[in-house]
Amino acid sequence: MSRPDPLYMEIGFPGEKRVDARYKGFTIKTDQPAHSGGAGSHPAPFDLFLASIGTCAGIYVLSFCQQRKIPAENVKLIMRTERNKETHMIEKIAIEILLPPEFPEKYKDAVVRAAEGCTVKKHLLKPPLFEIYTNSLKSNVQ
């Protein structure tokens, strides 16, 4: 058995359809879109899930370019999804890496392999076990 991850995330409910996560000193705010009863004041949790895939691939592409001293200012990733019409679940995620004309031809296949190294994608391919349970909050009353 692997050792437990020491990282801790606390999820709270600041009101209406908002749900916030406090993690590593950051507060990650979410809200539901108006059509789902929220105000749309922040991205929905599923939007952050999709963004984590795109930005993870992006950091691998950026690191690839930086290690080779290739300017990345004009490199862009476009992520598209396809949903199953019956289940409404995403069936396909395509990430297109748009490269400027001056990008070295010899690195085009390698930059794709770099993006494929994304750890978020790897976790989707070999997902963790989920364990969800209840516990009682300790009373502050003495």
- Residue of 63 and 7 predicted with greater confidence: 63
H or E stretch covering 114? helix 108-116
Tell me, what's the pLDDT at 58?
98
Tell me, what's the pLDDT at 139?
75
Three-state SS for 21?
Answer: strand
Tell me, what's the pLDDT at 33?
97
- Segments in 1-83 forming alpha helices (H): 45-67
Distance of CA 66 to the CA centre of its chain: 22
Instruction: Tell me how far apart the alpha carbons of residues 44 and 35 are, in angstroms, rounded to a whole number.
Output: 12
Phi/psi of residue 41, nearest 5 degrees? -75, -15
pTM exceeds cut of 0.75: yes
Q: At what angle do helices 108-116 and 45-67 cross, to 10 degrees?
A: 140
pLDDT, one tens digit per residue, over 98-138 is 999 999 999 999 999 999 999 999 999 999 999 999 999 88
pLDDT, one tens digit per residue, over 47-80 is 999 999 999 999 999 999 999 999 999 999 999 9
Name all domains of the chain by residue range, CATH numbers in brackets: 9-122 (3.30.300.20)
